[in-house]
Chain A
Amino acid sequence: MYINYHCTPMARSNLRRPVEVKMLRRVLGQTLGFVGYTIQYGCIAHCAFEYIGEFVVCSGPSMEPTIVNHDVVFSERMSRHLFKIQKGDIVIAKSPFDPNMNICKRVIGLEGDKICTSAPSDLFKTHTYVPKGHIWLEGDNLKNSTDSRSYGPIPYALIRGRVCLKLWPPHSFGTLSESPTQRIIKSPSDSDSD
């Protein structure tokens, strides 16, 4: 009885060791494989979001009526990386005062453009030029938008992406409309003769 008790664990451990090692190795291999796949797909997701585009839920009234509260839009990143942002594009940019917050506005002027900074009712028009490497952003809802009219031009590198598609709500699916405000001075020749 005593001997039997003493002997059994030894025998059992000798018997079990190769099986346990094999199992441990398999579990370890599975875990490593899982971690590897997670890292790989995480990296692919990062590249897709960083260089192709991302989905953004917009909030706030500043882009009404083009984009209303809780609309889902797709913002593509390529034209920002290739420096192909044009006047009239709607962009998502980091707020210059809080880098963790994003703003969604329309590009009114690129570097070197002349911008009218006075209200339409003002008698004397005031103009400003957008400095090098900066852009001028304004919301479509001029009455209710904090934009470059209050904080001035923002650096180009704060742009995160260009909004190219509206996905939700379904009845307004499609590309985005032109600016309802008459704020974009169309061609450089116009602004020079102005």
Chain B
Amino acid sequence: MAQQMTTGQRYLRAFVSGFFVAVPITVTVLDRLAYVARVEGASMQPFLNPGGGSECDVVLLNRWSVRNYQVQRGDIVSVVSPRNPKQKIIKRVIGLEGDFIRTLGYKNRYVRIPDGHFWIEGDHHGHSLDSNSFGPVSVGLLHGRASHIIWPPNRWQQIKPSLPLNRGPLDTEEKQE
């Protein structure tokens, strides 16, 4: 059977079967497990893109750990921008649902995060388009959690959740004062 096929047919067949294995597996891995993304812009300085300019950090986005939309305060997450669905933004989670947040330049001074939403901010205040301009973001827009910086190699590290100083949810007593 195989001997009757010409070389071209054999290559075509190998290509098609390889195609039907490689493409779905790649797409599924990128959708479900992990995604590699380049960080552009200055909004997460100094943690990401500290040099600014032409060099861009590359991060590994863990998509498996956010399959149930579970994130912690301080995690760096990538979210589909609510203003432009073609764009993804990478920010730090400051508050989860039910938290009270002291905002920086939002229309209300204090905000209670509604159910199913979170509050995200860039580390570089004033140079970041984040929840301070568009308010709490629905958790359904979550795309992935940045778990590692993989490029440049000298800054290779695992990203641990950490909240910036003086940022984070207020205690309820503080809110009532």
Q: Which A residues are within 8 Å of any B CB, using their own CB?
A: 39-40, 42-44, 46-47, 50-51, 83, 94-100, 131-134, 154-158
Contacts and interface: CB of A to CB of B under 8 A. Distances in A.
Contacts of A131: 83
B27 A47 contact: yes
B21 interface: yes
Interface residues of B, number: 27
A39 B140 CA distance: 27
B28 A83 contact: no
Interface of B is mostly: mixed
B82 interface: yes
A147 B141 CA distance: 18
Contacts of A99: 69, 116, 138-140, 142
A133 B141 CA distance: 12
A40 B69 CA distance: 26
B141 A40 contact: no
Contacts of B84: 132-133
A50 B26 CA distance: 13
Contact of B141 (A47, A132, A158): A158
B5 to A, nearest CB: 23
A95 B27 contact: no
B28 A46 contact: yes
17 contacts: A39-B25, A40-B24, A40-B25, A43-B25, A46-B27, A46-B31, A50-B27, A94-B138, A97-B116, A98-B115, A99-B139, A132-B83, A133-B83, A155-B138, A157-B85, A158-B140, A158-B141
A46 B82 CA distance: 25
Nearest to A80: B85
